[in-house]
Amino acid sequence: MILTPEEIEALGLSLKVAFWSVLVSLPLAIGVAYALARASFPGKTLFDATVHLPLVLPPVVVGYFLLIAFGRHGPVGSVLEDWLGIVVAFKWTGAALAAGVMGFPLMVRAVRLSFETVDRKLEAAASTLGAGRLAVFATVTLPLALPGVITGMLLSFARGLGEFGATITFVSNIPGETRTLPLAIYTYTQVPAGEEPALRLSLIAIALSLAALFLSEVLVRRASRRIFGDDAHDRR
């Protein structure tokens, strides 16, 4: 299967966007997941629903609100441009932001479920030995939640690879800048003789998604064996 330069460009941009969307959103996802798993505070149910809202909203709606907020004249976008010189609307960074927002609930959900399964007796034992709250989190809680973190990262990565609606609404479909794999497929379906490249890119998208899911399962099993021992596979 030989790809044209334009197809290689779209593929590379998709991988770049998905990678940065996961990398930037991971710390926030871990913090939000931990708060939802352990903390009790007023409005927790509403906060939980807001975090997971991108899962049920049409992606175009998410992209529209991102455009309003992060556009060059938006409340956030204007501050980023005036104070930091950062522009995300109609840039690949905006595509990464859209992918991160759409994949964020998947990451939070996986990490939260993992935090909820951590044995609190182990955390209590570490505290008894003199470890502070941050040390307990870094040396006990987070390592034990590693399978969920890995799952969340790869699910969010796969979601970022397939993001279309929020991306095209927020950053448009600009060749070399925001035309990711799904947008390239859409573009090829709209032009004559575009069936072959659209099929090629669709097969690549399927292969990448399957690879991400397979890698997630492999890494989770390895992390589980390292944490829980050889019987982890039997429990799964």
Given this model, what pLDDT does residue 234 score? 52
pLDDT band at 232 (very low <50, low <70, confident <90, very high): low
The pTM of this model reads 0.90
Quick: pLDDT tens for 163-211: 999 999 999 999 999 999 999 999 999 999 899 999 999 999 999 989 9
Given this model, what pLDDT does residue 230 score? 59
Given this model, what pLDDT does residue 44 score? 94
| pLDDT(75) > 70 | yes
- State the Cα–Cα distance between residues 162 and 99, nearest whole angstrom: 9
| pLDDT(220) > 90 | no
| pLDDT(92) > 70 | yes
- When pLDDT is averaged across residues 104-133 and rounded to a whole number, the result is 91
